[in-house]
Amino acid sequence: MKLAIYPGTFDPVTKGHLDILRRACRLFDRVLVAIAPNEGKQPLFTVEERLALIRPHLRTIPNASAARLDGLTVDFARARGAVALIRGLRAVSDFEHEFQMAQMNRHLDETIETIFLMPSHTFFYTSSQIVKQVCRMEATRLRQFVPPNVLRALRKKFPQP
């Protein structure tokens, strides 16, 4: 059984994230979504809230699960016997950061590969950060980018007049 880890902040999970997850699940026997605290990004949702937001969507993806990620991603992956890390690439602007991270992870553990997947063209410019920015102004326009449970959670964080 080949396990891949899909690490990230997922603050909040978007339809683009779920698209990448589904693609990864077609390539690997199991995919574990690893949700990191990432306090440097000043997340809107706690790790527990982010886990609760993604778990309903895992019911429709039988070989996917989710867990909290603490520490280095490669250590987390090695401890679980993973063979790969999944990273999403949207626009060219993602590439430099992702490439640097992949090279550092390779340096830390050369047995764990990094696999880059692109989402459907519909989600190329979707990011959690942009979703939160738009939601501060008008949540109703986000239906095409986040699942309904995430939209409800965002509306609680950013009540609309």
Residue 146 corresponds to which amino acid? Answer: V
Q: Does residue 73 contact residue 7 with C-beta atoms inside 8 Å?
A: yes
Using alpha carbons, list the distances in angstroms from residue 97 to 22, 93, 104.
23, 8, 11
Q: Tokens standing for 160?
A: 């609309």
Q: Which residues form the catalytic set?
A: 17, 41, 90, 128
How far is it, in rounded angstroms, from Cα 6 to Cα 113? Answer: 12
Question: CA gyration radius for the chain?
Answer: 15
Contact yes or no for 127/41 (Cβ under 8 A) = no
